[in-house]
Structure 1
């Protein structure tokens, strides 16, 4: 079952959080062995407060998650635990999931092998401009080391691998521990867990994956942006991880959520094969609409609801809560 989930994974292959550029370039580490300008926090931390959405006597508490977080941080979930225990329902973050059936999944699994690799066994040197490849070589040596397997990856996947390696060296971890903890709290208190996303129905997933493997994807913009801003992005993520861990809402609001993730996701969703798959079109808009529908339903049916969103969907330019506010709901930010 774990392997069949790869269909959902490749649809969301660029779920690494959008990198911001709000930190001055002078804050960059000076060289490969330089100590990061921002030291990530450790120990037990409260995380951010919760947003309150209400209409009449019905309330929805909204908690914002963020990744990556400090590797040595332990999240104090006591406040969230009290709110979840008093709720009738917990809405998990919206995700687009591909449902293809168990036996169809087994027959298609072989076609997933090598999905990260360039077509025709090309290497990065063959598919990106010389100056971009030179920049990649420097950053690869700094963060990844001598792993030559990544040289066969498509640029979009190579960039993701570089970013993940950079996170590890920066004392950050891209895990799902916070959401796992909230789900465990809900189960312990017999609170209903509800999916706020939607199902992606693929007519022929095996053909879609095969076509993706054999097609060129215009992911140079994604790759170049990753290389050009990596050191600044890592510094910004350290700042943002600290702000989340310490519950510093003012700092969180002041951080710019830039467009790296959108550029990388567009590389896949705007490819010829994605355009031919109706289920992949307007994914972000459909996720937003799906969550808003689930949230309004929960607010109507429950006295108290607890919802989880990524923090950028709360304070970012396309805030889901701003959309609820425009529909007549009262929205209060944590202090």
Structure 2
């Protein structure tokens, strides 16, 4: 929760697990005894930037990815130069729920226990026996002894399992890259603009209480996490290396069909989310909001710098494809 001029802000991430970019494609799992992809270390350039233009107005778009190699140091010199020359930095689109000051304070206690199953149920009670058996094997491999996680809803238990797997794989899910861009913008006094939208929550305590008491159809998310975890970790190591080395060809060739969608849908298609109009069609609304902000920035500035997740840059339904369809010229880095 961060303080803003409009009061206090609750990120929808309170209800949704992190948006890891995991493949459910055809990456083969390494055979026993064969080392997995070695995660690179040291100073690395990261990917190049995409160029969006109309006339003399240009927007440079940088793609972020998580997770990244824990021991990698990003060489941000190229991005620093572009940010310093820009009149505005467009931050990644995020949906934020704004509530009043006093409402925020009274809602805080109700957030405790939001990850737990209703009626204090444990995983063994809420998932099929074969799925639970698979869970116990992977939990022992990546998490170890932790009885508390057994009380988590499947969607959140899967998140904890993934985080533990990332740590053992030499990967880190953090915001260091975005934080560096923010620091450069502040240092050069470049305006930073939110590109998402605000969600108005009339009764945050009721929203959280209803979520805690409701069942969530997250078995698909949980099962997909278990079934693809080992191959996903290998795929994420490959992707992390490709991002760090700026290998656009390899990044472009990766399958971005994601577990994230199944897990996000588990929460957003729950009865509580369906009843809350503000939580509907989040992904579509974020895309629409970003396109509007991007066009405004391109019209107002000679040079704009924008940050997007890499999966929102590539592909026919990407954000940049949306700008291209509106007449902007989009050029990919080499």
TM beyond 0.5: yes
The interval holding the TM-score normalised by the smaller chain is: over 0.9
Say if 2:290 is the partner of 1:291.
yes
In the alignment, the residues of structure 2 paired with residue 185 and residue 7 of structure 1 have an alpha-carbon distance, to the nearest angstrom, of 24
Match of 2:13 among 2, 9, 34: 9
Aligned partners of 1:21 and 1:236 also within 8 Å: no
In the alignment, the residues of structure 2 paired with residue 185 and residue 191 of structure 1 have an alpha-carbon distance, to the nearest angstrom, of 8
The TM-score with structure 1 as length reference comes to 0.96
Deviation at 1:14, TM superposition (A): 2.1
Deviation at 1:233, TM superposition (A): 0.3
Aligned partners of 2:27 and 2:235 also within 8 Å: no
| 1:220-231 aligned within 5 A | 220-231=219-230
In the alignment, the residues of structure 1 paired with residue 102 and residue 175 of structure 2 have an alpha-carbon distance, to the nearest angstrom, of 28
Match of 1:326 in 2: 325
Deviation at 1:317, TM superposition (A): 4.6
Gaps of 5+ in 1: none
Aligned partners of 2:87 and 2:191 also within 8 Å: yes
In the alignment, the residues of structure 1 paired with residue 56 and residue 119 of structure 2 have an alpha-carbon distance, to the nearest angstrom, of 61
Aligned partners of 1:22 and 1:236 also within 8 Å: no
Deviation at 1:316, TM superposition (A): 3.7
Aligned partners of 1:36 and 1:170 also within 8 Å: no
Gaps of 5+ in 2: none
| 1:261-272 aligned within 5 A | 261-272=260-271
Say if 2:280 is the partner of 1:281.
yes
Moved more, 134-143 or 251-260: 251-260
Match of 1:306 in 2: 305
In the alignment, the residues of structure 2 paired with residue 5 and residue 227 of structure 1 have an alpha-carbon distance, to the nearest angstrom, of 33
Match of 1:243 in 2: 242
TM-align CA RMSD: 1.4
Q: How many residues align?
A: 330
| 1:1-335 aligned within 5 A | 7-11=11-15, 13-22=16-25, 24-27=27-30, 30=32, 36-335=35-334
In the alignment, the residues of structure 2 paired with residue 166 and residue 266 of structure 1 have an alpha-carbon distance, to the nearest angstrom, of 23
In the alignment, the residues of structure 2 paired with residue 288 and residue 323 of structure 1 have an alpha-carbon distance, to the nearest angstrom, of 9
Residue by residue over 1:21-54, the C-alpha shift from the partner in whole angstroms, topping out at 9 and shown as x without a partner, is 34532426x3xxx675100110000000000000
> Structure 1 residues 261 and 317 mapped into 2: Cα distance closer, same or farther (>3 Å)?
farther
In the alignment, the residues of structure 2 paired with residue 226 and residue 66 of structure 1 have an alpha-carbon distance, to the nearest angstrom, of 19
Deviation at 1:258, TM superposition (A): 1.4
Structure 1 residue matching 2:313: 3-state secondary structure = helix
> Structure 1 residues 9 and 24 mapped into 2: Cα distance closer, same or farther (>3 Å)?
closer
Aligned partners of 1:186 and 1:193 also within 8 Å: yes
The TM-score with structure 2 as length reference comes to 0.96
Aligned partners of 1:23 and 1:235 also within 8 Å: no
Deviation at 1:103, TM superposition (A): 1.4
In the alignment, the residues of structure 1 paired with residue 27 and residue 173 of structure 2 have an alpha-carbon distance, to the nearest angstrom, of 24
